[in-house]
Amino acid sequence: MSAESHPESSHLVVVGSTMIDMLAYTNKVPHAGETVIGEKFALGFGGKGANQAVMARRFGIKVSMVNTLGDDVFGDTTLTNFQEQGIDTTFVARTSGASGVAPIWVEPDGTNRIICVPGANNAMTPAQAKSALESLKSYQIVIGQLEIPQVVTTQAFISAHQHGAITILNPAPFAEISPDLIAASDWIIPNETEFAAMHPQGLEPTSDEIILELAAALKTRFAVTLGEKGAALTTLDGRVIRVSAPTVKAIDTTGAGDAFVGSFAVALALGYSEEQALSLGCACASDSVTRLGTQSSYPTPAQAATILASIAG
């Protein structure tokens, strides 16, 4: 195990999205032209960037968010949520218009279907990312996703490298990724579907060889999430390390991938081994599917400390 840092001296930056999640829990999803009666509804804080920031913050490390919110009530409440969580919002901007929203359908087995409408997230600019990452000091990790313009994430990662930080791209929701963004990503964390979408022949990550070949072709490192089967990462010396996921009863999988990304990044920032980072990601993702909602499904700081202690051995 490498020497671990104290949470207070670790700093992670998320350059990414915010959404207000509109969760409808239903026993049956409608066909085209059909109306169904749902079971339950909840509004919650979401957006892959915000979720990853909140998950990371639960471990007590310093987290800065770089985002643009609209000038609506959703923007106000999202800003308040970040502040209540202790997330640095110095580089959260506001613009006129609507904040991001995400209508989400969740079925009884926890499966979700999500439509993101990015709104103000699309007003983010490369200059905003550059200015934030040049002003912030002493961060170790910068995380991005695909819910804001890719040129913004690319600029953020270039600035992060000038600062000596590690960059992590979560290619979700999947879109063709620009070569510049791939080149600026030290780690890419796709799920099985996103991995297959990145693969030239559409192959899923069913073997070590497939994962290693794509990592070599893209000159990046992968931490691939495999749902109930756990996760796999590529090592610097060309091997694959796998960890299995704890067995749990899923009731809502929304935000589980973000729990993985945020906690994996925290473990790297704290100096844990990459295998421990993979284990922490799996543990937090599995834990989150046992509770309803997105950020509302994440462990409390005390629960997060217990999970971290369990993987630290």
The structure tokens 């670790």 sit at 10
Calpha distance 235→244 (Å, rounded): 17
Q: Find the helix packing angle between 126-135 and 150-162, rounded to 10°.
A: 20
Residue 236 burial (10 A CB sphere; 0-12, 13-18, 19+)? exposed
CB-nearer residue toward ligand RIB: 175 or 217: 175
Residue whose entry in the numeric block shows the structure tokens 């829990």: 25
- Whole-number minimum distance, CB 170 to ligand RIB, in Å? 9
Q: Considering beta carbons, is residue 153 or 294 the nearer one to ligand RIB?
A: 294
Angle, alpha carbons 124-176-259 (nearest 5°) = 65
| Residues found near ligand RIB in the complex (CB under 6 A) | 19, 21, 46-48, 51, 102, 114, 116, 147, 254-255, 257-258, 294
Least distance between ligand RIB and beta carbon 167 (Å)? 19
| 73-78, long-range: CB < 8 A, 24+ apart | 74/20, 74/98, 74/99, 74/100, 74/101, 75/99, 75/120, 77/20, 77/45, 78/18, 78/20, 78/45, 78/50
Query: Would you say 102 or 184 has its CB closer to ligand RIB?
Result: 102
| Structure token pair of residue 242 | 């796998």
Measured from the CB atom, is 276 or 297 closer to ligand RIB? 297
Q: Which residue is nearest to ligand RIB (CB)?
A: 46
Q: Give the largest CA-CA distance in the chain.
A: 58
Nearest-approach distance from CB 155 to ligand RIB, in angstroms: 21
Give Cβ neighbours of residue 31 (< 8 Å, ≥ 6 apart): none
* Residue 130 Cα distances to 120, 133, 134, 164, 202, angstroms: 18, 5, 6, 14, 34
Report the nearest approach of ligand RIB to the CB of residue 145 (Å).
8
Cα–Cα–Cα angle for 83, 261, 41, nearest 5°? 65
CB of 18 to ligand RIB, least distance (A): 8
Catalytic option among 21, 72, 258, 287? 258
Active-site residue, 109 included: no
Query: Which of residues 230 and 255 has its CB atom nearest to ligand RIB in the complex?
Result: 255
Catalytic residues: 258
